Amino acid sequence: MNIIPLFIAIPLGFAFLIPMFSRKVRWLPDMLGNLATLSLVILSFYTIGRTGNYYMGGWRPPIGINLVLDGFSSLMLIMVSGVSFAATLFSVQYMEKYTSKLRYYSLFLLMVAGMNGVALTGDMFNLYVFLEIASIASYALVGFGCDHEELEASFKYLVLGSIASTFILFGIALIYGMTGSLNMAHVGQMIQQQGMGPTLLFAMVMFLMGFGLKAALVPFHAWLPDAHPSAPAPISAMLSGVLIKVLGVYAMMRIFFNVIGVDEKLSWVFIGAGVISMVVGGLLALGQWDYKRLLAYSSISQMGYVILAIGVGGMAMARGGAGANSVAALALLGGLFHLINHATFKSLMFLTSGSVVYGTNTRDLKKMGGLFYKMPITGLCAMVGSLSIAGLPPFNGFWSKLIIILACVKAGFYGIALVAVAVSVITLAYYLKLQKYAFFGEVGEGLKDVKESPSLMCLSMGILAVLCVGLSLLLLPGPRAVLLDPAVEAVLQGTDYITVVLGR
Amino acid sequence: MIYLLTFVLFSIGLYGVVTKKNTVKIVISLVIMEYAVNLFLVLLGYRKGGIAPIMEKGQEIQEFAAATVDPLPQALVLTAIVIGLGVLALMVSLCIRLYEKYGTFDISEMKRLKG
Amino acid sequence: MKGMTLIVKTVTRWVKGFIFLFGLYIILFGHLTPGGGFAGGVILACSYILLTLAYSKEVAHRSLSRAVASELDSVGALIFLSIALLGIYFGGGFFVNFIHRLSPGEPFRFLSAGIIPLCNVAIGIKVGSSLFMIFVILSAMRVIVRKSDNGREIIDNRRKHPR
């Protein structure tokens, strides 16, 4: 039996099962939620090294909707299910203080279903539908606490998110008007035949703005530092860890690399946006005194690295010439590796922030201090996470940043490589600040009787912390050939995606 | 030419979202934007003198396909409207909740978040 | 007296059944005529919303309570999903129209479209109940504005969380 549709069916089914049966039984939502994400983790490992093309309802493209599984989407599926499993494990005890666990898990699983759908779909309008499912669930989850800040952040996020969705829908409509098809592969074929035109350019601008808003690149980043800290901690981990990547970066790469095809101008846009996001996010994070807000700005900065790597890869692909393919492969490897690394360590950091809030009831760094002695496991996990983000050698963040910088140097962008190194130093600076004020120094006032968080929260943080160290192993030739290389190839094949999907 | 009008409508919506301070007006502007896109999609499938894409008894398939408008954008618009309904319900409930908390619809008075 | 005037109440009493029936018709004949699950579900919800407006929430909840509506919401979605999954079991693919494959009906007949009417029914249940829920929840979230002594409107904050 083909497992591809199960990635959408399982979370969707559990999302509606939970509010139906667990009104009376208190522990059932937790059970079902964790069961769903655990089964997704197991299934996602099954997709490694497989490719597939699934026709929904038996209709072949370009008439029917198809689901496409290749290396890139398989990588995304593993990332989404891994982080969501850690988040559900964490929320068993963390979400006790909120009222309605039932609705929480329901919305959570809807969001997971939307993201899995985005990662798998091969149809443009279907992409929009899944994108909206994931976004609507996330709007509601940001405002889950129903307090002043949360509602305000949720409204801001909702307005900007809906504008982004409208732009994307407009782009899709333009593409449909131009090519008369919605299947991504078929659209790609038509675009290759028709060549570049003003309509396509307009659609590309629409897509750039829409997905840029979803990915929080710097000119469009205003919603992220409000929305991500206001959500409950496991949701922040999901939003920062996977949502902006799947909805923003993945969808953007799929459309620009595999459907439309990259050229030099577009790569310059990516590189520019990446560098600006990197620098601005890093500098703004330095001045923050709110634990979660600092992490949110750091997300913008780290997404800058990913976009920069993608831009460099696209540039090498567009320019061509001797050795261009190896440079592009290196850059994209760095970008994708940083993508999954960022998913692990940023969700780890947001979960530790949740643990700190659970213990101390504050997010203000100035009121904390000495938490390392009170909450050793949380402190240790936070330290592992911080050092990984800052890019110190034994951890995974170091390797991915190293690859990105190497790729920049090989492609001839020495200045940009220098900026990337400088931003890495800034990153180290603000994470050292976080460590110093939150976890070391004098024990803060009123924090004398803070206890370590409950066991399941520690367990989920521990899993992610081990992953932070363990993911470095992915660069060894064996694991790399299994997981990362197929993903890089899927992006690198560019518009050959069309022939793979349509089978001609 | 008529496509240009939908762009104008879209821009009006965007202008409203950017400049208005009242939350309800922002919501209305967003809805205008969304419907501009829906209108654009429907217009894409329009054909002068086309019939509705519903087959009747005794019609030849070839003849029917030649006369009808493009049904796919209509299906897309229907889906987009349903999604828009969900977003609208969420937005309106958020507006009411915000009014409960702050006692105003003015977004310039809601600034607990900064930075 | 709760609700609206006698005229509105009487008309509602006569009309509500027909509106409900019309909704059912739109859902069941969605594969042959314009309409379908969403449009029919909206009409179903409208009949209950009319009841709420004309009488009161209590009267409407007597025939469709919030708990039941919430359950129906999930049931509709689950029926839809299980039809899709049954397609894998019988027809070899997600959303495969397995009934139509096994026994294709004659076009323009009521039983001719396989799983499509079943999907329409599921969507109708889902849309009808969730739209009614949206209406009820939004109307329950009403903020009471009362006139204070000096004539300015102030907001009554005593009713904070109506749920």
d(Cα A157, Cα A226) in Å, to the nearest integer?
8
Tell me the nearest-neighbour CA distance from A477 into chain C, angstroms: 37
Residue tagged 């460099």 (tokens)? A312
Which residues, including other chains, have CB under 8 Å from residue A414's CB and lie 6 or more apart?
Answer: A408
Give the domains, in start order, of chain B with CATH numbers.
Answer: 2-48+58-109 (1.10.287.3510)
Flag whether residue A52 sits within 8 Å of chain C, measured between CB atoms. Answer: no
Q: Which pLDDT value is given to residue B58?
A: 74
Token digits of residue B29: 């502007």
Confidence check: pLDDT of A503 > 70: no
Residue tagged 């949701």 (tokens)? A235
Of B54, B82, B93, the CB nearest to C141: B93
Confidence check: pLDDT of A38 > 90: yes
Of C73, C85, C91, the CB nearest to A58: C91
| Greatest Cα pair distance in chain A | 70
What string of DSSP letters covers C69-111?
Answer: HHHHHHHHHHHHHHHHHHHHHHHSSTT--HHHHHS---TTSSS
If you average pLDDT over residues C12-32, what whole number do you get? 91
Higher pLDDT, A28 or C160: A28
**Which residues of chain B neighbour C33 with C-beta distances below 8 Å?**
54
Which alpha helices (DSSP H) does B20-70 contain, by range? 23-44, 61-67
Q: Which pLDDT value is given to residue C158?
A: 40
Token digits of residue C66: 């919030």
d(Cα B43, Cα A198) in Å, to the nearest integer?
19
CB contact under 8 A, A132 and B87: yes
What string of DSSP letters covers A376-394?
Answer: HHHHHHHHHHHHHHHT-TT
CB contact under 8 A, C77 and A55: no
Interface test with B, best of A166, A223, A286, A294 (most B CBs within 10 A): A166
How long is chain A? 504
Minimum mean pLDDT among A201-210, A412-421, B96-105, C125-134: which range? B96-105
HSE-CB of A247 using CA atoms within 13 angstroms: 35
* A285: closest chain B residue by CA: B115
In a domain, C160, yes or no: no
Of B54, B78, B97, the CB nearest to C141: B97
If you average pLDDT over residues A140-148, what whole number do you get? 84
In a domain, C163, yes or no: no
Q: Could you give the dihedral angle defined by the CA atoms of residues B48, B54, B59 and B63, in that order, rounded to the nearest 10 degrees?
A: 30
Confidence check: pLDDT of A220 > 70: yes
Q: Are C123 and C80 in contact (CB under 8 A)?
A: yes
Q: Which chains touch A (3 or more CB pairs under 8 A)?
A: B, C
Kindly indicate the confidence band of residue A472, based on its pLDDT and cuts at 50, 70 and 90: confident
Interface test with B, best of A170, A291, A295 (most B CBs within 10 A): A170
Tell me the nearest-neighbour CA distance from C145 into chain B, angstroms: 10
Higher pLDDT, A432 or A51: A432
Q: Percent of chain A having pLDDT more than 70?
A: 98
Confidence check: pLDDT of A491 > 70: yes
Q: Are A469 and A396 in contact (CB under 8 A)?
A: yes
Query: For chain C, which residues lie within 8 Å of any Cβ of chain A, measuring from their own Cβ?
Result: 67, 70-71, 73-75, 77-78, 81, 84-85, 87-88, 91-97, 161
pTM of the model: 0.91
Residue range A329-349, pLDDT digits in tens: 889 999 999 998 999 999 999
Interface test with A, best of C71, C72, C75, C94 (most A CBs within 10 A): C94
**Which residues of chain B neighbour C134 with C-beta distances below 8 Å?**
89
Residue range A148-189, pLDDT digits in tens: 888 888 998 999 999 999 999 999 999 998 888 888 888 888
**Which residues of chain B neighbour A213 with C-beta distances below 8 Å?**
none
Higher pLDDT, C109 or A432: A432
Minimum mean pLDDT among A325-329, A359-363, A490-494: which range? A490-494
Token digits of residue B58: 């005794």
Q: Which pLDDT value is given to residue A211?
A: 93
CB contact under 8 A, C143 and B96: yes
In a domain, C11, yes or no: yes
Tell me the nearest-neighbour CA distance from A42 into chain C, angstroms: 20
CB contact under 8 A, B94 and A288: no
Residue range A367-392, pLDDT digits in tens: 887 788 888 888 899 999 998 888 88
Size of interface A-B (CB pairs under 8 A): 85
CB contact under 8 A, B93 and C138: yes
Of B37, B95, B102, the CB nearest to A169: B37
Q: How far is CA C116 from CA A57, A472, C82, in A?
A: 12, 50, 13
Q: Which pLDDT value is given to residue C60?
A: 81
- Cα-Cα end-to-end distance for chain B: 44
CB contact under 8 A, C74 and A9: no
Q: Which pLDDT value is given to residue A54?
A: 83
Tell me the nearest-neighbour CA distance from C98 into chain A, angstroms: 9
Confidence check: pLDDT of C1 > 70: no
Token digits of residue A257: 């690399």
Q: Are B42 and B9 in contact (CB under 8 A)?
A: no
Task: Give the bridge partners for C146, in sequence order.
Answer: C154
Confidence check: pLDDT of C145 > 60: no
d(Cα B106, Cα B103) in Å, to the nearest integer?
9
Residue range B84-94, pLDDT digits in tens: 999 999 999 88
d(Cα A421, Cα A401) in Å, to the nearest integer?
9
CB contact under 8 A, A20 and C92: no
* B100: closest chain C residue by CA: C143
For residue A46, how many other CB atoms are within 10 A of its CB? 12
Q: Which pLDDT value is given to residue C143?
A: 56
CB contact under 8 A, B41 and A225: no
Task: Give the bridge partners for A334, in sequence order.
Answer: none
In a domain, C90, yes or no: yes
Q: Percent of chain A having pLDDT more than 90?
A: 40
d(Cα C130, Cα C117) in Å, to the nearest integer?
20
Q: Which pLDDT value is given to residue A203?
A: 92
Q: Which domain holds residue C41?
A: 6-155
Flag whether residue A12 sits within 8 Å of chain C, measured between CB atoms. Answer: yes
CB contact under 8 A, A57 and C75: no
**pLDDT, chain A, mean:** 87
For residue A326, how many other CB atoms are within 10 A of its CB? 12
**Which residues of chain C neighbour B100 with C-beta distances below 8 Å?**
141, 143, 155, 157, 160
Higher pLDDT, A257 or A446: A257
pLDDT along chain B (115 residues), means of 10: 87 92 92 93 83 77 80 89 91 88 79 60
Backbone angles phi, psi at B109, to 5 degrees: -95, -5
Q: Which pLDDT value is given to residue B8?
A: 92
Residue tagged 């208190």 (tokens)? A26
* Residue environment code for A16-42, b if the CB has 16+ CB neighbours within 10 A, otherwise e: bbbbbebeeeeebbbebbbebbebbbe
**Which residues of chain A neighbour C79 with C-beta distances below 8 Å?**
none
Token digits of residue A291: 């634990």
Listed residue (A210, A428, A400, A213) closest to A308, CA to CA: A400
Confidence check: pLDDT of C160 > 70: no
**Which residues of chain A neighbour C67 with C-beta distances below 8 Å?**
23
In a domain, C1, yes or no: no
CB contact under 8 A, B82 and C38: yes
DSSP state of A48: T
* A163: closest chain B residue by CA: B30
Q: Which pLDDT value is given to residue A403?
A: 92
* Residue environment code for A442-477, b if the CB has 16+ CB neighbours within 10 A, otherwise e: eebeebeebeebeebbbebbbbbbebbeebbebbee
Q: Which pLDDT value is given to residue B115?
A: 46
Confidence check: pLDDT of C159 > 60: no
CB contact under 8 A, B37 and A154: no
Q: Are A127 and A251 in contact (CB under 8 A)?
A: yes
Question: Number of folded domains in chain C?
Answer: 1
Confidence check: pLDDT of C144 > 60: no
* A181: closest chain B residue by CA: B72
Backbone angles phi, psi at A288, to 5 degrees: -85, 145
Q: Which pLDDT value is given to residue C27?
A: 92
**Which residues of chain A neighbour B34 with C-beta distances below 8 Å?**
162, 166, 169
Of C81, C96, C161, the CB nearest to A13: C81
* C154: closest chain B residue by CA: B103
Question: Helices B71-102 and C116-140 sit at what angle, rounded to 10 degrees?
Answer: 20
